[in-house]
């Protein structure tokens, strides 16, 4: 009977995608299914996605709750079964039952990561975000500066603990795409900006005004990669309630949702 249910689900998935009228429910969510999914994940998925599903250089983080090829149960099912063309993600020809146990495990990993709840008031946090000048460098829902990372979905990317460290110790973990390129040209001109790309012959960066700049290495006399965050450590000055409010606001930022601090 259970097998029939899986087959049926597989068969109707495209219809669901088209009309969105029927919600496919994962029928394999028991503790046994979860254990089977965890085992299968470790054997088949962990090499690229990491043992804790936090991603490697080959496969992305699967615990954010916001996945590139769809975050619903059926979207995850389809991504696993069909693969993603043009990426290292192959199609896995597992029985439907086994794919559902993987979906169960991936869901459990996301839930485990987001377990701790913010204690502050998101509305109060939004006010602090604005008054502290965060928006000068960061964007939320299309508004704000370009120097720092877009925070529109930061609540789905980082755990509360990770948000806290990012605010208090901005130099702790700076993603390479936010490193600064500091150049002194042969002409004497100095150029500084966010390091966007580079190859053997040229370096691309974006200055603080958002201007895109490309320089030839042959014209560069001195090149330094600054791995520190330009973000002021002003978060450390926040007292406990203000910090909790700010973290609650950041945790509420989940993609199209612009936060619950209205």
Tokens at residue 79, please? 């991504």
Q: Which is nearer to another protein, 171 or 177 (CB)?
A: 177
Task: Tell me the HSE value of 12 on the side-chain side, using a 13 A CA sphere.
Answer: 13
Count of beta carbons in the 10 Å neighbourhood of residue 59: 17
Q: Which of 44, 121, 192, 255 binds another protein (CB under 8 A)?
A: 44
Give yes or no for residue 57 binding another protein (CB under 8 A): yes
Please name the residues in contact with 35: beta carbons below 8 A apart, sequence gap of 6 or more. Answer: none
Give yes or no for residue 219 binding another protein (CB under 8 A): no
- Contacting range for another protein; rule: CB under 8 A; set: 70-78, 146-154, 195-203, 251-259: 195-203
Note whether 221 and 123 are within 8 A (CB): no
Residues 82-141 that bind another protein (CB under 8 A): 83, 85-88, 90-93
- Contacting range for another protein; rule: CB under 8 A; set: 23-31, 37-45, 234-242, 243-251: 37-45
Q: Which of 8, 25, 30, 56 binds another protein (CB under 8 A)?
A: 56
Please name the residues in contact with 260: beta carbons below 8 A apart, sequence gap of 6 or more. Answer: 122, 123, 252
SS3 112: helix
- Please report, as ranges, the residues that interact with another protein according to CB under 8 A: 42-44, 46-47, 50-51, 56-58, 83, 85-88, 90-93, 176-177, 179, 195-201, 225, 227
């Amino acid at each position: 009977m259970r097998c029939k249910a899986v087959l049926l689900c597989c068969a109707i998935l495209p219809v669901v995608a088209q009309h969105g009228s029927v919600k496919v429910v994962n029928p394999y969510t028991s503790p046994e299914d979860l254990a089977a999914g965890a085992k299968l994940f470790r054997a088949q998925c962990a090499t690229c996605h990491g043992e804790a599903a936090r991603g490697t250089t080959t496969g992305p983080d699967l615990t954010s709750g916001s996945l590139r090829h769809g975050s619903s149960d059926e979207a995850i099912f389809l991504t696993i079964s069909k693969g993603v063309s043009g990426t290292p993600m192959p199609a896995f020809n597992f029985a439907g039952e086994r794919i559902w146990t993987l979906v169960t495990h991936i869901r459990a990993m996301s839930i485990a990561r987001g377990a701790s709840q913010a204690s502050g008031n998101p509305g109060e946090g939004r006010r602090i975000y604005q008054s502290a000048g965060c928006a000068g460098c960061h964007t939320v829902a299309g508004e704000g500066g370009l120097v720092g990372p877009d925070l529109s979905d930061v609540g789905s990317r980082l755990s509360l603990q990770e948000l806290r460290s990012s605010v208090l110790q901005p130099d702790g973990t700076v993603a390479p795409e936010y490193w600064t390129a500091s150049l002194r040209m042969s002409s004497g001109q100095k150029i500084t900006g966010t390091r966007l790309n580079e190859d053997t012959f040229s370096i691309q960066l974006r200055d603080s005004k958002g201007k895109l700049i490309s320089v030839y290495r042959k014209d560069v006399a001195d090149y330094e990669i600054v791995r520190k965050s330009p973000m002021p450590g002003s978060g450390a000055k926040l007292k406990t309630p203000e910090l909790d409010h700010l973290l609650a606001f950041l945790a509420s930022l989940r993609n199209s949702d612009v936060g619950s601090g209205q």
